[in-house]
Amino acid sequence: MAYSHALLGAQTSSSHVAVRRIGLTDLKDALSLGLADFNAMPTHAIFLCLIYPIIGLVAARAAFGYSVLPLIYPLVTGFALVGPFAALGLYEMSRRREMGLDVSITHSFDVLRSSSIGAITALGLLLLMVFGVWMGVANAIYIATFGYAEPASLTQFASDVLTTHQGWALIVLGNGVGLLFAVVVLSISAVSFPLLVDRDVGAAVALMTSVQVVLKNPLTMAVWGLIVAALLFLGSLPFFLGLTVVVPVLGHATWHLYRKAVNAETSARPEMSPEPQEKRYAADFPANLFQWLK
């Protein structure tokens, strides 16, 4: 029963979720509303997203330290593949502000008590799997073009990539394959996580609704994908620090994009489990995150 609920939510049909047609004006409005949310609660948003520059810097340092320099670019670009899952707290903050509810930092983690947490976890694991596959494919592409030899230095690596036929083949092929991964992730996660934060529809319905949004608005969603990619690139300069602004704005904007693209008003809202009053022990930590499986 728990697995069925994680997949299908409180209802077993997607007929209660309607997809709207949106345009470029809606994208502009979503970004404007996302920026307004960020300005209204910047401390919360930055706190939630400080992990992005930290992860970026640590990952880059690890890459240099362990001679996996060729994977830095796919590692950084791959952050966008798991971004929709990482922005859960931002969706909740935007939802609460829209409803006129308290937006204190503690409420950003309310999603952990939601009856949708099983579906959210399932889709999050799916994105992590896609990220892992992308890293494996990126490594295979590098080996196919440059072989198993490690670059002697950052300068030599940059020279090889930018001035040789193998380097340009790596750029074209790598970015082409990366685009395919981005399209897949955009299709399955454009609105799925905000929908699960807002409604108890299950992972399958949320995923299919996101795909339907992309299919019904291919040009608009393609532009949205380009906007996200461009802003994430700009946010990574310098040293990923810009992501402390870009990521929260995009997270809040994604919530408003969901509200414009999907009508799920007749769907059941997630039930919230009461906050535990009893003592919790460190040994119980992993199990406490997955109570929906019990």
pLDDT at 173 over 60: yes
Task: State what percent of residues in the chain have pLDDT above 70.
Answer: 79
pLDDT at 252 over 90: yes
Q: What is the pTM of this model?
A: 0.82
Average pLDDT score over residue span 87-111: 86
pLDDT at 244 over 90: no
pLDDT at 268 over 90: no
Residue 34 and residue 256 in contact, taking contact as beta carbons nearer than 8 Å: yes
- 123 vs 106, higher pLDDT: 123
pLDDT at 6 over 60: no
* Three-class secondary structure assignment of the chain: CHHHHHHHCCCCCHHHCEECCCCHHHHHHHHHHHHHHHHHCHHHHHHHHCHHHHHHHHHHHHHHHCCCHHHHHHHHHHHHHHHHHHCHHHHHHHHHHHCCCCCCHHHHHHHHHECCHHHHHHHHHHHHHHHHHHHHHHHHHHHHHHCCCCCCCHHHHHHHHHHCHHHHHHHHHHHHHHHHHHHHHHHHHCCHHHHHHHCCCCHHHHHHHHHHHHHHCHHHHHHHHHHHHHHHHHHCCCCCCCHHHHHHHHHHHHHHHHHHHEECCCCCCCCECCCCCCCCCHHHHHHHHCHHHC
Closest Cα partner for 288 from 275, 192, 164, 249? 275
Closest Cα partner for 76 from 126, 34, 138, 125? 138
pLDDT in tens, 14-25: 457 899 999 999
Average pLDDT score over residue span 147-153: 79
**Which range among 53-67, 208-222, 225-239 has the greatest average pLDDT?**
208-222
pLDDT for 26 equals 97
Average pLDDT score over residue span 234-263: 88
What pLDDT band is residue 4 in, cutting at 50, 70 and 90? low
Residue appearing with tokens 């030599």:
156
- 273 vs 102, higher pLDDT: 102
